Copies of this chain bind each other. A is one copy, B any other.
């Protein structure tokens, strides 16, 4: 009795449904209907093609530095697929797939990376926060939103994203501490893509999993195969259902891989082996799901081509919308700072006005 074992969270699990060879575990199959399966496929593919387009735009100098998401599509789509519009999404800075599914116009997503605040002007009707750049600083917002929902008696949830690197920041700890204490309907998705720029997951924290951090906060945690969209879908929906029913927060670690560079300013060859990348290329979430859908008869070449053409059209008009809106007024930095512009800023705005007039500054790029 005096030297006794303390029992802590023996609930921690790892979930995979569709394995790397695209074999499904029947006992865990959520048995989604064909439309849903196709939609998951379409959204992951959109994320992939959007990502590729962004990289191309960056190379062409049409947007600035960009943080690609290749390889992480299943995490993005699986976690947000069933959210309601009254739920809230708090993104990090690498969730274009989530944004797309939530209804953000492609043009808007491009605007952030093009250097326009307009890309953070969350479109009316969308309950999301814009890109949060300081790593993990967005997690307390997830907690606050979720807590607000609880206070207002809603059965909505708030879901937030952070990387493996972000789990080391104090904000992560404080957000999860608060979420547990106030039993908020918050879902924290850790996209463990193995790298924080050049810093490997193994050196981010000595714990074997990131999911096990949940125990320290007295909340549930689960680790999922982040390249298996079905596992991500199932784990997130369990967490969502639980949160809606008043069951409180969940931490989900989605194990995946950042197949591309950290950002277009980064050269991953400096810190990781091609062999590692090649290993993960084989686990590509799109390949796996594609194979599964075809085997199941849900997808064929013709449908795939149609879907691709659809997506390309969407991307094309998104890029056009972005490029059509590049002529912006730099003076609006004064306009939105406060609800009412204070007298001293009126004076500074006039000063800026005059400066621009004198300089004949070209607006935009």
Contacts A5-B13, A17-B2, A223-B6; A204 near B181 (Cβ below 8 A): yes
Docked pose: A211 CA to B8 CA in angstroms: 10
Main secondary structure of the interface of A (DSSP, over half): mixed
**A355 CB → nearest B CB, Å:** 33
Interface residues on A, range: 35 or more
Residue of B nearest to A222 (CB): B6
Docked pose: A188 CA to B177 CA in angstroms: 19
The answer, yes or no, to whether A209 is at the interface (CB within 8 Å) is yes
Docked pose: A295 CA to B223 CA in angstroms: 53
Residues of A within 8 A of B (CB): 1-6, 8-10, 12-17, 19, 25, 28, 168-174, 177, 180-181, 183, 203-209, 211-213, 215-219, 223, 231
Q: In the complex, given contacts A3-B28, A177-B204, A205-B216, what are 11 additional A-B residue pairs having Cβ atoms less than 8 angstroms apart?
A: A2-B17, A3-B15, A4-B13, A4-B14, A6-B13, A8-B207, A8-B209, A9-B212, A177-B205, A206-B218, A212-B216
**What are 8 of the A-B contact pairs (CB < 8 Å)?**
A2-B17, A5-B10, A8-B208, A8-B215, A173-B174, A180-B205, A181-B205, A212-B215
Docked pose: A4 CA to B6 CA in angstroms: 22
Contacts A207-B215, A218-B206; A169 near B180 (Cβ below 8 A): no
Docked pose: A12 CA to B10 CA in angstroms: 12
Determine if B218 and A215 form an interchain contact, defined as CB atoms under 8 angstroms apart: no
Determine if B212 and A213 form an interchain contact, defined as CB atoms under 8 angstroms apart: no
Residue of B nearest to A235 (CB): B3
Determine if A207 and B212 form an interchain contact, defined as CB atoms under 8 angstroms apart: no
Q: Which residues of B contact A13 (CB under 8 A)?
A: 3-6
Q: Which residues of B contact A171 (CB under 8 A)?
A: 170
Q: Which residues of B contact A28 (CB under 8 A)?
A: 2-3
Residue of B nearest to A23 (CB): B2
**A305 CB → nearest B CB, Å:** 32
Q: Which residues of B contact A8 (CB under 8 A)?
A: 8-9, 12, 207-209, 212, 215
Docked pose: A223 CA to B5 CA in angstroms: 10
**A28 CB → nearest B CB, Å:** 6
Docked pose: A203 CA to B181 CA in angstroms: 6
Q: Which residues of B contact A206 (CB under 8 A)?
A: 180-181, 183, 217-219
Most chain B beta-carbon neighbours within 10 Å: one of A12, A172, A173: A173
Q: Which residues of B contact A215 (CB under 8 A)?
A: 8, 207, 212-213, 215-216
Q: Which residues of B contact A204 (CB under 8 A)?
A: 177, 181
**A180 CB → nearest B CB, Å:** 4
Docked pose: A25 CA to B205 CA in angstroms: 37
Residue of B nearest to A207 (CB): B218
Residue of B nearest to A223 (CB): B6
Q: Which residues of B contact A10 (CB under 8 A)?
A: 5
Residue of B nearest to A178 (CB): B168
Determine if A6 and B12 form an interchain contact, defined as CB atoms under 8 angstroms apart: yes
Docked pose: A45 CA to B160 CA in angstroms: 51
Selected from B168, B177, B209, the residue in CB contact (under 8 A) with A6 is B209
Determine if A207 and B180 form an interchain contact, defined as CB atoms under 8 angstroms apart: yes
Selected from B1, B5, B19, B172, the residue in CB contact (under 8 A) with A12 is B5
Determine if B173 and A212 form an interchain contact, defined as CB atoms under 8 angstroms apart: no
Docked pose: A255 CA to B190 CA in angstroms: 32
